[in-house]
Amino acid sequence: MSEIGRRLLIIRKQRKLSLRQVEKLTATISDRYSDKSRSISASWLGRIEREAHSIAHKKLESLKEVYGVSHEELTDEAIPEDEATHLLHSHFPDIPAAVLKGLTSFGDPLLPPESWFAYFPLTTLLPPLSIADRSGYSPSRKRSRNAEHVYGILGASDNTLVPFVQPGAIVEIDSSIHKVESGKVFRSIFERSIYFLRSHDGYHCGWCELDIEREWLTLVPSAMSIGSHRKWRYRQEVEVVGIVNRVLTRLGFPKDPSFGYMSPDENSNST
């Protein structure tokens, strides 16, 4: 399998599209442009995914549109040479460097395009990264992020905190704090601490409650989320990675209804 064939297969699987579905979608694009060279048959795409073949530019353009990705994401031709991006790429080899590079320096936007969701379906803790100097990027002028700060990504399927924090958000975590506050009264939801957790089945991010005996920790979802409460034995079945200091998130409501909550208009019409 060629590198681009492998990447095409990964992206198609992440988009949950069959070969026949891609064929139909590219046929629509071909009709729109009145250009048959833009259409892609299921058999041709399957062969490209399995074998080493070149791909005509117009067919690549059709695949970019169907998958909703950039040329760099599709081909992964432009991989930055900075150490941080290579570190991320080593941890997430199936994700194009073009998608990961936004996490490696202050000079780039930290929130990638919507295609970001397809690569992180679950909430994930990122490995420690080095970053560029704020005064100007230079690969030779690296400094470490605060050793106590780590970063996580809320997965596309994680609607625990919506609409306050959207799926795909990036969170900065103070990993020096491992205790959950209990018995504290908050004047508003915005004063309530957000914790990043690790359990046997993955990572979680949200508000937390402890029982009086401090034996059980409960993850509390937003009232607008369809997510359910999760409960673990405190310190035995769940680990507090840290407390969330900052959040970089999109504003508004995602267009994709699969994120599991309703916009205010939709909510007002429900019973």
Both tokens assigned to 83: 């150490």
Task: Report the pLDDT averaged over residues 45-74.
Answer: 83
In this structure, the answer to whether residues 147 and 251 fall within a common structural domain is yes
pLDDT band for 126, please (50, 70, 90 cuts).
Answer: confident
pLDDT at 233: 94
pLDDT band for 98, please (50, 70, 90 cuts).
Answer: low
Q: What is the CATH number of the domain that holds 170?
A: 2.10.109.10
- 173-198 exposure pattern, b = at least 16 Cβ within 10 A, e = fewer: bbbebeebeeeeeeeeeeebebbbbe
In this structure, the answer to whether residues 9 and 56 fall within a common structural domain is yes
**CA–CA separation, 39 and 31 (whole Å):** 9
Which pLDDT tens digit goes with each residue over 229-262?
999 999 899 999 999 999 887 765 554 444 433 3
- The domain in which residue 217 lies consists of 83-268
Backbone dihedral angles phi then psi of residue 81, each to the nearest 5 degrees: -90, 5
Residue where a domain stops, chosen among 18, 44, 75: 75
Residue where a domain stops, chosen among 75, 95, 119: 75
pLDDT at 24: 93
In this structure, the answer to whether residues 49 and 108 fall within a common structural domain is no
Helix (H, G, I), strand (E, B) or coil at 119: helix
- Average pLDDT of the chain to the nearest whole number: 77
pLDDT at 42: 93
Residue 271 has pLDDT above 50, yes or no: no
Q: What is the count of structural domains for the chain?
A: 2
In this structure, the answer to whether residues 206 and 102 fall within a common structural domain is yes
**Among candidate residues 184, 183, 210, 187, the one with its CA nearest the CA of residue 197:** 210
In this structure, the answer to whether residues 67 and 142 fall within a common structural domain is no
Residue 116 has pLDDT above 50, yes or no: yes
pLDDT at 88: 76
How many angstroms separate the first and last alpha carbons of the chain?
52
pTM of the model: 0.62
pLDDT band for 161, please (50, 70, 90 cuts).
Answer: very high
Q: Which of 87-91, 232-236, 266-270 has the highest mean pLDDT?
A: 232-236
Backbone dihedral angles phi then psi of residue 126, each to the nearest 5 degrees: -80, 150
Residue 118 has pLDDT above 60, yes or no: yes
Residue 27 has pLDDT above 60, yes or no: yes
Both tokens assigned to 96: 């194009």
pLDDT at 117: 67
